[in-house]
Amino acid sequence: MVNKHGKKKILSYENIYLPGLLVSGALFLYAIVFNMSFSYMGNTSTDVVHFILYRYKFLIVLYFIKIIVVYACLGIILSIFFNHGIRQILTFLNKTIHSKRTFYSSAILTFTIIFLQLCKSIVLYPQLYQETIFNKNIVYNYFQIALTNNLSPVVIEIIQICILAPFLVALLLPVFTYLTKRKNDIIDILIILFNRWKFVATALFIAVIVLIVTVTGTISYKNTHEKPNIIILASDALRPDHFSGFGYHRNTTPNIDTLIAQGTTCTNVYTVVPRTFPAWVSILTSQLPAKHGIGHMFPTAQSRNRNLVTLATVLKDYGYYTSVVGDFAADIFPRINLGFDTVKAPTFNMRIMIKQIILKNHTFLLPFLTNSIGFALFPEIREFAEFADPQFVIDDIKSEISKSIHTKKPFFITTFFSITHFPYPACYPYYNYFTDTSYKGPFKYSKNRVVSLDSSGVASEYEPSLQEIEYIRALYDGCLYAFDEAVGTIMQYLKDKNLYDNTIIIIVSDHGENLYEHEYGMGHG
């Protein structure tokens, strides 16, 4: 459809971008109308909301613009893909192309792929959707339970592939046809180029082979030094009495049990303070908080700016490459200089918290952001307490090991996983490992804070029953198993790279965890 000047109208069935833009726009509006809130981990305050809206209004506006742009890009990409794919299929079948049908088909297919991606993300990370889906109403609640109890991400991926494959083939078919018709010409051109540039062609061929071998991991590293590598594999709030190697009734730590059998176990270890910041500074300095000056989670700038002698600074003097990596609970490391060459950990402040609150409401966008591209666009995702997939920390560990090898230095890498930290956000499949899948209560996926109002409007926190306490402990055990799997993955990686026998592996934690034992309730211990 064109206007009187001969230009296509923006709002027409011929616009290949419009179906995706309409779908993504509708999903954005859905998030604003039905999900928008300023609660954080189940907590909300009217005074805090007013303060945020007044103090950070420009940040909020700019962040919404960024989100809208990402929505639009997502819709446009899918819309172009399906629109061209439909037209190519109809052309191949000698069918008439109806712009209106193509328009609506593109919109439906775009929404279908986005919805399936949401379903897959719910199965992988159900805690991310606890507020916006699970706690929304009984229909949404049962929808999420049905997904997590009955489907795996692989099944949903297969459905997505079955939908996408015909359109991808249709789009690639003209390219394949063209190359087939011109294959003799292409071969002749390659032969001529090879004859003229034999040396360059041979060098490129060898380079490609070496690159392929390197990427596939068939080249192992050699220890070019006599000093042992050191890696600390720590997870927040570990409880050694929940290790199967120490007699626990569940098989929670098979890989750590191997290290227990092969190594040395220290059984008389206590945290200086059951808080991450002071505990880690004490671990790395061998000093009590009264000495190093960090006594709680929010020390002053003066306390954080002390020139501390740490394990990292000492090992650096001995020629080590030093690094620390972690996810949300590791946000203390960017806040203080502990002597590491590299710090790969998220930061946390009021601005990041506001971004998290806003982003978490966008249910249909989140599934496309829990990956490296999403982390680049929205780094605050790594700081979600409900998003503690160990795989992303594992990727950072491997990257740091590779970096140290290229420097030809032994490495000291401190790693800090958050998977065992409150609210115990075990990702797929660990949240179902030890729990009763028939449970449908408020702690189905994590120990979130549940607040109820009495008849007079006074708020009180929901206290779990004895059965729910056992369920929460089972959730924690699933998180512990996930950490153990991460330990096993790193152990195998070190073996594959010929580094295991020359690497000291230390399993430790900043503190323990109370899980409703005695009169202590739940919290760090």
CB count within 10 Å of CB 245 equals 18
The domain 229-327+388-524 is placed in CATH, from the list 1.10.760.10, 3.40.720.10, 3.40.50.300, 1.25.10.10, at 3.40.720.10
Can you give the pLDDT at residue 97?
87
Q: Which two tokens stand for residue 273?
A: 């303070």
Q: Which two tokens stand for residue 189?
A: 């051109």
What digits encode the pLDDT tens for the residues 29-39?
999 999 887 66
Q: Which residues contact residue 329 at a Cβ distance below 8 angstroms, ignoring those fewer than 6 apart?
A: 236, 276, 416, 417, 418, 421
pTM: predicted TM-score of the whole model, two decimal places: 0.87
Q: Which residues contact residue 289 at a Cβ distance below 8 angstroms, ignoring those fewer than 6 apart?
A: 272, 273, 278, 281, 282, 295
Q: What backbone torsions phi and psi does residue 43 show, to the nearest 5 degrees? A: -110, 140
What digits encode the pLDDT tens for the residues 49-88?
778 888 899 999 999 999 999 999 999 999 999 999 999 9
pLDDT confidence band for 198 (50 / 70 / 90) = low
| Pairwise CA distance, residues 73 & 65, whole Å | 12
pLDDT confidence band for 92 (50 / 70 / 90) = confident
Residue spans per domain, the chain: 13-215, 229-327+388-524
HEC sequence for 35-85: HCCCCECCECCHHHHHHHHHHCHHHHHHHHHHHHHHHHHHHHHHHHHHHHH
pLDDT at 346 over 60: yes
CB count within 10 Å of CB 121 equals 23
What digits encode the pLDDT tens for the residues 365-411?
999 999 989 999 999 998 999 999 999 999 999 999 999 989 899 99
Q: Contact 105/82 with Cβ under 8 angstroms?
A: yes
Q: Any bridge partners for residue 505, and if so which?
A: 231
**Judging by beta carbons within 10 Å of its beta carbon (0-12, 13-18, 19+), is residue 342 exposed, middle or buried?**
middle
HEC sequence for 281-301: HHHHHCCCHHHHCCCCCCCCH
Q: What backbone torsions phi and psi does residue 366 show, to the nearest 5 degrees? A: -50, -40
